[in-house]
Amino acid sequence: MIIGIPREKAADENRVGLPPAAALGLVRQGHEVLVERNAGAGGGFPDEEFTAAGARIVHSRDEVYGRAGLIVKVLAPTAEEWECLQPGQALAALLHLAAQPARLLKTLCERGCTAVDWAVVADERGGLPVLRPMSQIAGRILPQLAARWLQSDHGGRGVLLGGLPAVPPAEVLILGGGVLGRNAARAFLGSGARVTLLDADYETLRELDWRFGGRLTTYMASDSALNKTLRYADVVVGAVLIPGARTPHLVTRDMLELLRDRAVVFDVAIDQGGCFETSRPTRLSDPVYVVDGITHFCVPNLPSLVARTATHALGNVALPLVAALAAEPVADALRRNRELACGTAVFRGRVVHARVAAAHGVPHEPLDELLDR
């Protein structure tokens, strides 16, 4: 198969769909890999490394889309790329289709495409193997960002994250105890902050309490617990994920008044719609805005801050799935590989993921029934 890796067009996105090492693996399996010129430059992967891996550098986005049977990206195509999608083409990326414009889903359907959303590819234990490393990166990078936006010169409260003797540290509230939330908890605790975490699952809270030796304060998620913990938070992290669906707004605009003045909220669920009613996507080069005295940081591609690390991590987990997609006709690959089947949102122009269909109000057809025809 011809596999295409275009240059990412999203704002301030420096990652690339696969690193040269992954391209080499695909070439050795007999596939042709086309990489758009300078696609890896933002992550420190020059064209020469892709060429040395056996990939072919092409000079236009149109050639990548026009020749490839399978397109591998980091993020969903932008509006300028929608028209590049070819009839019957397969697309694999962190698509988050439930939160994307309806026009992208319509284009995928009209052109009979198959779309595999890395964000909902699930293993037999219910884990999200491709999304996991991106969530780990986002969680672990948050303390250094929080420290900056708490500084007085950045409009913050002027609070040192780890505090000092006789001066208390910053109070951090994390909403959600999944991969991102627990990595954020680990990183913030390591920085010396006081950390409180809310989750709706008691077993998750029990396991986190044991893992962190009681250093992490935990609450069952409820309106009363949220109202209580917001009142003393300097930093709030929105880390709630419902795979394939839009994230519910847990914090309304009225609830912002509970927060301390010049507190910082990080809505890391913004790529799925966001945990805060007042959230809107921002970009790394202009990441924050202020609502009612509260600083909002709502960058959807946070791992792009460490693009090289993120690309290697993405390649490690995505390569076996890309190889499985490319090894045989897509329908056969989906029959054999349940992880890929779980992540398929659109199959030959039919919406097969129930939550994506519900988010856009379109009909849903079970993938298994289409594969059996």
Q: Using one digit for the tens of pLDDT, what is the confidence trace for 300-342?
A: 999 999 999 999 999 999 999 999 999 999 999 999 999 999 9
In contact, 34 and 68? CB cutoff 8 Å: yes
- State the span(s) of the chain assigned CATH 3.40.50.720: 2-127+306-371, 132-305
Q: Using one digit for the tens of pLDDT, what is the confidence trace for 200-257?
A: 999 999 999 999 999 999 999 999 999 999 999 999 999 998 888 888 999 999 999 9
Question: Which of these CATH numbers, 3.40.50.720, 3.40.1160.10, 1.10.1740.10, 2.40.50.100, describes 2-127+306-371?
Answer: 3.40.50.720
Q: What is the mean pLDDT of residues 100-104?
A: 94
Per the residue annotation, which of 96, 249, 312, 353 is the catalytic one?
Answer: 96
Per the residue annotation, which of 199, 267, 271, 312 is the catalytic one?
Answer: 271
Q: Which pLDDT value is given to residue 336?
A: 93
- pTM, whole model, 2 decimals? 0.93
The token pair that represents 283 in the structure block: 């970009």
Q: What is the mean pLDDT of residues 105-118?
A: 96
Q: Which pLDDT value is given to residue 136?
A: 97
Q: Name the strands in the sheet holding 288-291, side by side, starting at the edge strand that comes first in the sequence.
A: 217-220, 194-199, 171-175, 235-238, 264-267, 294-297, 288-291
Class of domain 132-305: alpha beta
Please say if 96 is a catalytic residue. Answer: yes
Q: Using one digit for the tens of pLDDT, what is the confidence trace for 126-145?
A: 899 999 999 999 999 999 99
